[in-house]
Structure formats: structure tokens, C-alpha cells
Structure 1
């Protein structure tokens, strides 16, 4: 049985999510503050974390950052604030999704199911890091360094880069990328992938040309310009 940790300072919110999660067959644990959430997570094994931003003692962003420093468990952030800056901050810290309160419990369950269905990218990778020329990818901390400087990538952009760099000089099809990173929820002709590739190339400058496009087929990460 999959285990979910629900972290929210509001007992009613925890109860509502917990009720729907149990109906979906999940085992549920709860925490009302950030420090308790981190302690519970270190003591037990969880398959998913639902994490509110506004928490007593330690806020949700800090909890997310702490958990992400040693685990790739899927994290969905709940927040009263829907402004772009907060959403970007949560995603940059490694959250897999960001939902604004008030929310539909049924939609929340669907989002959880979709994230868990695609599974963490690292399940298909055994190494802890990837280094290609001046690009260093820390698969555990989910950080990317270019010539010694950390660059900012969204979780999906990170996953795309990691997948390509883990298979150097191999053509990775569009379908493979979409299935691995998006769980096959997007059609092969979607422009979403192209947009993410563009952002990844921009982030890894001056090594942008390492990612080669094979039109209609997929992408290849080249070890060098030769």
C-alpha cells in the first residue's frame, strides 16, 4: 500500500485530504508543522508528500528543500498564494506540482495519481551524478552546475537534461522523453517538449550545442563537438 504524508497546519484540511486519500487506497500519515514533518519523513518511508506552505515553526518551502536534499519522493505543494513567484520558488526547490487553495479534493487525487504513475526519473538511473565536459548534474540533490556555477532549472527541465545526459551519443525519442518525464500524458507532437529543450539549452550555455535535434525523431546529447 502506498503511503502519503499530509503536512498542513489546518486539521480540517488534513482530514479532508486524508479521507479522499484513504478512499483511493492510500495509507495516510499526518503532520501539523514543519519540524514534525521532517522528523516523520526521516523515521518512515513515504511514497508521496502533500505539503502546505504556511506551517508553524518551519515553512513548507524549507521542508521541501530539506526533504529534497536527501530524497526524490514526489512532493505536491499546497498554498494560499497563487502568484507566479511562489509557484516558481516551489518548483525550483524540487516540488513536482503546486496547487492553490481552495482546491478540489478529486482533482488533487488525480494529480497525485498522475505524478505517481510516471514515477521518479531516478528509478531508471543508477548513478548519483553525471558529468559531461563543463556540465555537472547531481541526481540526488537535483542541482546542475555549468563551469562551476549553479544554474536554475524547473523540475521537468532538470529531468529532460538528466535523461539525455545519462544516455550520451544515443538518440532518445520524443516518445521516450514524454513517457519518462511526463508519464505519457502529452501527445508526441506537443510543443511543450520543444519549449523545455529550448530552456535547457539556454541554461547550459556555452554547451547548448551538446543537445542535438533530430527532427521528427528525438534528441541526442553529444559528449563533445567532435
Structure 2
């Protein structure tokens, strides 16, 4: 697994590299659009983290140049307008995260995008667990206390997202973007509805999905009722 980081701020590059390293993911980097295109073609990375606001060739131009390579791209930018987001996605970007960002959220987005293109499963394992809950990634099956439960495809995606990112607090918008994707047309009430349904199916372990007042949700294994 190799990720190309493109940003003209050395501190941001170093921070991302450190967090990717902790996840066992290798990275290469550059600080301008021209080198980004060269490295994308020569190194064939699994994903590109691409800053938009760079001198010379900006991230949007890089996206245009790389459209034929079929490499997933997550845009990084200080701009937060819907217009800019939509423009980047129209150019082929797979996701969009606004600076300043939480490193844990960035890693979660990276995992989600790579999973969408079938390039990543947690530590390359087919089975992951969270307390009494086990998820077979290859078969998309979930067991609780060794008993299989039936989830809809989106409930499964939501549970897997939580388990992969335990103890990280996500807003409803973060969850919507990470699990449903930017192509989904809807609102954050969709997240609440699916979490209610997922909690019912988790039974007594529904307490693992915690509501964080005025922010959103997090997943944390404990047994406090």
C-alpha cells in the first residue's frame, strides 16, 4: 500500500506521513502539481492526498491531468464552499476534506475510499472484532456472541465504519460522506435513522454506539447500560 501526498506545507506532509506510518501504510510526497503528475505516473500509488491551493499548477489542474490513471484522489483544502467541493468531485476526486482536519478523520476517509476500490481491508484480515461483535469482511457477515445477525448493506457499511474507527467522534455529515459518499443526495437524518435500526439489531450492545451531544456519534466497546 502506497499513498502519494501532495502539499506545499511541509508540516502537513510530515503529519500525514506519521499517521499513515502508524497504520502500516507507506507514503511518498511532493510539494507541487508538476511533480505530483510525474510521481503518479511513475510510482502508481494506491491513492493520492492532494492539496488544492498550491502555487503554479493547483490541485484541480492535477485532477484533470490524472483522470485517465484511475487512481483515487482525496482533495485537501482550506476552502469549504459547496461549489469547490462539487467542482473537485466532477473532476474525478473521490472525497474532500477541509483543513484543518483531525488526523483520525483523515485516516478514516483514506480507509473508506480504499475500501470502495477494493484496495484495503483492516490489516489485510478478513475478520475483525469489537468485543462480542465479529465482522467477516470477505463474506460481509456479522456475528454477535457467535450468532449471525442480518443487516442491510448500508447497516453493514455503517457498522464496519464504526468498528474500523473506534473512539473517533464523527459528525452526522462526516458519517454521511464516508459511508454514503458524496454522490448521495439526502440529509443527516438518514444517519440517525440507520443508527436507530442498527442499535436495535445490536440489542444489549447498542450502547457501543454513543451519541455525542451536539456533535454526532462514536463507537466504543464497553458494557455500561
| Shorter-chain TM-score range | 0.5 to 0.7
Counterpart for residue 56 of structure 1: 55
User: Does the CA-based 8 Å contact 1:48-1:75 persist in structure 2?
Assistant: yes
RMSD over aligned Cα, in angstroms?
Answer: 2.9
What is the CA distance between 1:67 and its match in structure 2?
0.9
Equivalent position SS for 1:184: helix
Change (3 A) 1:22 1:88: same
Change (3 A) 1:10 1:197: closer
Counterpart for residue 42 of structure 2: 43
* Mapping 1:26-41, distance limit 5 Å: 26-41=25-40
Q: Residues of 1 paired with 2:159 and 2:93: CA distance? A: 20
List runs of 5+ in structure 2 lacking aligned partners. 120-151, 161-175, 187-225
Query: Deviations along 1:61-116, whole A, 9 cap, x unmatched?
Result: 01011111x12211000011001110110111111111110000111001100111
Change (3 A) 1:25 1:81: same
Pairing 1:184–2:183 present: no
Change (3 A) 1:196 1:97: closer
Counterpart for residue 99 of structure 1: 97
Q: Which has the higher contact order (CA 8 A, sep 6+)?
A: 1
Query: Deviations along 1:149-198, whole A, 9 cap, x unmatched?
Result: xxxxxxxxxxxxxxxxxxxxxxxxxx67x69xxx93489xx9x79x9599
Pairing 1:7–2:6 present: yes
TM-score by length of 2: 0.54
* Structure 1 segments of 4+ aligned residues over 2 angstroms from their partners: 183-187, 195-198
User: Does the CA-based 8 Å contact 1:72-1:120 persist in structure 2?
Assistant: no
Counterpart for residue 201 of structure 2: none
Query: Deviations along 1:111-138, whole A, 9 cap, x unmatched?
Result: 10011112169xxxxxxxxxxxxxxxxx
Equivalent position SS for 2:50: strand
Query: Deviations along 1:201-226, whole A, 9 cap, x unmatched?
Result: xxxxxxxxxxxxxxxxxxxxxxxxxx
* Mapping 1:138-217, distance limit 5 Å: 184-185=157-158
Q: Residues of 2 paired with 1:78 and 1:25: CA distance? A: 21
User: Does the CA-based 8 Å contact 1:73-1:120 persist in structure 2?
Assistant: no
Report how many residues are paired: 135
